[in-house]
Structure 1
Amino acid sequence: MPETSLSPPAADAVLAPAAEHLPLRRGPLLVTSLLAVTASALIYLAPLAAVWRTAWPYALLFAALGTAQLGTVARVLARPASRRVVLAAGAALAVLVVWFLTRRTPVLPGPSPWIPADSVIGFVDYLCAGLQVIGVAGFGIVWVLRAVALSGGADTQARRRPRLRRVAGAVAVTPVTLVVLLATFVGFSGASDGLAGAGFPGDTVPPRHLPAGKRSTVEYCRIDGVPLAMDIYTPPAGAAPPGRGAPVAMYIHGGGLVLGDRKLSGLGASLSDHQAALFTPLRERLNANGYLVASIDYRLTPAAPWPAPLDDAKCAVRFLRAHAADLGIDPSRIGAWGASGGGWLSSMLGLTGRQDGIGPYAEQSSAVQAVVDMFGPTDLNDFADAPPFIRFLLWAGIGTSTATRHSASPINYVTGNAPPFLILHGKQDEDIAPRQSLRFAERLRTAGVSAEFVEVAGTGHTLATPGQRPSTQEATDMVVDFFRATLR
């Protein structure tokens, strides 16, 4: 019989079948991508009830997208495969398309479905979209690496050192994973108001026959389809003088126009820091003196670009006047107060309230008769020495345009017909320099406006520091006495 020589198979013939059947590893890149799209889905699903109340078709769309995304994530985790990774990337791209069409270029009808998610932190929808981008990019890289491996183009030496390759991949992906985790925490906390339920209230009442000495929540305006809530604290029975409507003190929460809400609990309340504005002691004292106290929500920036917060505050004043008879108030005696961003809006309201605003009740005036500004910024082009986080909030809420910042600065609207101002500012405030309030008060006085400036020693960006001078009690007395003198 002839000899038969056996030669070893070629290396490619051995490696090719192994490459074809090489399973996708649940490596750090794939896991990070899955985490990113899962977090994004949880963020836009968190305020789903509020989206349903404002635009139910979008709520159905979000529910379908969330189901699809979470379903594809579960399938990839159960058995990683190229086709399933492609489906996960497709679902993430679908969310990005919806975000772009409803947020960046709002061509679809109805109110923005992202506003409820942005009702506590004004840039949550950007975090949501950014997580989807991370997911799509990660899935794309995983797919490409898989295709390279199947084509036989993978580096042979790398195959011989899988442990080293996994370690290098984990080190490279770790910063992205940390970014995803941080965005997840911030985004979900904001979209859910710290699990307290963000969005817009569904239990508002008509603005009439409100119980005395109680808090009631009303919808004061609906602008661009977005319902805006106001908490009304009515004075106790007999506190207001008989035969005349009660004066009003309207509170505007702080947070740099980017953070916070009117509520007294939850993440939004913490971000607003109502304590710094002396809200509770002032509300109690004002109610006891016969004042109706109104506390408003407004659309946050950048979710609703400037001047949306100011438009909302003006609409709140017009609402109060339009319902003066139902609320038992005197429409000629309305004052505003707030701290930080709330002080900023209160000052803008006092200086521009006679100008037209958007929204309902156009026949009513948006003007207020007194303003208390607690350490609010007055010149937005004077923030070069502010801390990085404060400059970030200004950048996120207003942008970097010098012209836009000029148009949003109260100091540029001072005229002789402005209402009286009381301005309080902590001497050690490092977030907003006290010089802003000092210059603002000087500009008001030069224009002939009654303006009292009080520098509070021993405190910073708050009026609630033990040992400050004037004390918290004395600062509260000043505000009450100011409203009593100007709204008498």
Structure 2
Amino acid sequence: MVLGASTLAAQAQPTLAPRDTSFTVASALRKARKTHPTITLARPTVPTTIQARQNLTYCTVGGRALQLDIFYPKAKRPAGYPAVLLIHGGGWSSGDRSHHVPIAQQLAARGYVTVTADYRLSPEARYPAAVTDLKAAVRWLRAQDGTYPIDTTRIAVWGFSAGGQLAALLGTTNGDAQLEGEACHTSRSSRVQAIIDVDGTLAFIHPESGEGDDSKGLSAATRWFGASKTENLALWHQAGALNHVSDQTPPILFLNSVLDRMHAGRDDMTKKLDAFGIYHETHTFARAPHTFPLFHPWFEPTLTYTAAFLAKVFPPRP
């Protein structure tokens, strides 16, 4: 079943609801320390080689100003720098763009323009609002080519947990008009050239998926979609990146914890990528909790794998 634009627009209508603050870095640290008592919050020194602008509005939808923070090298480069859009997690209902400022700053010091962006969460707007918001953020990046040192031909998307699911979906639906949205910089492309999925599901309808169990209350995914699997199976299928892999899918890096359900569909997706000859990498952190990229000792290898992958798919230019 293919969903029409009117159906998707109806799903995206904002609702009045208080902000969900259930997922924070502090709460994630408390939970992770129950099984990993020696871990610490990753707050590396801010590099002196970068500059930043914060609280920039990249799109206004229905009176809602969506904002981002941008970090980039002070050094000039005629060709500009590849860009990376970082997407926070929080079960599509909670979380904050500040969660990944540390890795955004460190990547900027390695020669990237990085952005941490807001998107509408499920208490405010259901699927596909988050997707169309983030595609607008990619278009905003391309519209800034005269303001920030961005190589607009090389944009990657990096996401953790729900953000990883969104990153994979953005990259596998390059050019999909159904998920493009109609707001902000629509003359620009929302295509991305690389994906980094950090423990984000690739398929909602899959034997490995833990999403959609409403037996003890509405699951995070059901709240996001506004319908259970049985009520709107097509919608749940549409949101799975596994179902959109094609010869146009960009290279992808999978970074994973030991929780298999958090990357449901990954192995099936790598088989599809192999069939199309698309480059991919997978790295799993032994004994790591789901929230591993936020904490030492996993922050540094997460950064290292990310930077190495980006250097491979976006080789340096003069």
The answer to whether the superposition gives a TM-score over 0.5 is yes
Distance in 1 (CA, whole Å) between partners of 2:135 and 2:283 is 27
Match of 1:378 among 193, 202, 205: 202
Q: Is the CA contact 1:441–1:453 (under 8 Å) kept in the aligned structure 2? A: no
1:394 correspondence with 2:221: yes
Matched, 1:479 2:306: yes
Helix, strand or coil for the counterpart of 1:361? Answer: coil
Kindly provide the CA deviation profile for residues 329-351 of structure 1, in whole angstroms up to 9, marking residues without a partner as x.
11111111011000011001111
**CA spacing shift, 1:321–1:433, aligned 2, 3 Å:** closer
Aligned counterpart, 1:269: none
- TM-fit CA distance, 1:465: 8.5
Structure 2 portions without partners, runs of 5+: 1-9, 24-48
Identify, as 1 or 2, the structure richer in helix.
1
Question: Identity percentage over the alignment?
Answer: 29
Q: Structure 1 pair 390/326, CA: closer, same or farther in 2 (3 Å)?
A: farther
Structure 1: unaligned runs, 5 residues or longer: 1-105, 122-185, 191-210, 265-273
For residues 287-340 of structure 1, give each alpha carbon's deviation from its aligned partner in whole angstroms, at most 9, with x where no partner exists: 112211101101112531211100001000111101211122111111110110
Structure 1 residues 413, 370: CA separation in 2 closer, same or farther (over 3 Å shift)? same
Q: Distance in 2 between matches of 1:472 and 1:259?
A: 21
Displacement after TM superposition at 1:250 (Å): 0.7
Among 261, 267, 273, the residue aligned to 2:96 = 261
2:78 maps to a residue whose letter is G
Q: Which has the larger radius of gyration?
A: 1
Counterpart CA distance in 1 for 2:301 and 2:50 is 28
Aligned residue in 1 for 2:291: 462
Q: In the alignment, which of 108, 111, 114 is matched to residue 290 of structure 1?
A: 111
Deviation at 1:485, TM superposition (A): 1.8
TM-score, scaled relative to structure 2: 0.76
Tell me which moved more, 288-297 or 386-395.
386-395
CA 1:435–1:397 in 2, change beyond 3 Å: closer, same or farther?
closer
Q: Contact between 1:252 and 1:337, CA under 8 Å: does it hold in 2?
A: yes
Question: What secondary structure, in the 3-state scheme, does the structure 2 residue paired with 1:309 have?
Answer: helix
1:418 is matched with which residue?
A: 249
Q: Which has the higher contact order (CA 8 A, sep 6+)?
A: 2
The number of residue pairs the alignment matches comes to 270
Q: CA deviation at 1:434?
A: 4.4
RMSD: 2.9
Give the secondary structure class of the aligned counterpart of 1:364: coil
Q: For residue 277 of structure 2, what is the aligned residue in structure 1?
A: 448
Aligned to 2:4: none
Distance in 2 (CA, whole Å) between partners of 1:451 and 1:433 is 18
- 1:234 is the counterpart of 2:72: yes
Say whether the 8 Å CA contact 1:378–1:437 is kept in structure 2.
yes
What pairs up with 1:431-446 in 2 under 5 angstroms? 432-446=261-275
- In the other structure, the counterpart of 2:86 is 251
Matched residues in 2 for 1:286 and 1:487: separation? Answer: 13
Partners of 1:284 and 1:212 in 2: how far apart?
Answer: 7
* Counterpart position of 1:83: none
Q: Match of 1:365?
A: 189
TM superposition score normalised by structure 1: 0.51
Structure 1 stretches of at least 4 aligned residues deviating more than 4 Å after TM superposition: 383-391, 464-468
Higher strand share: 2
- Write the letter of the residue equivalent to 2:281: E
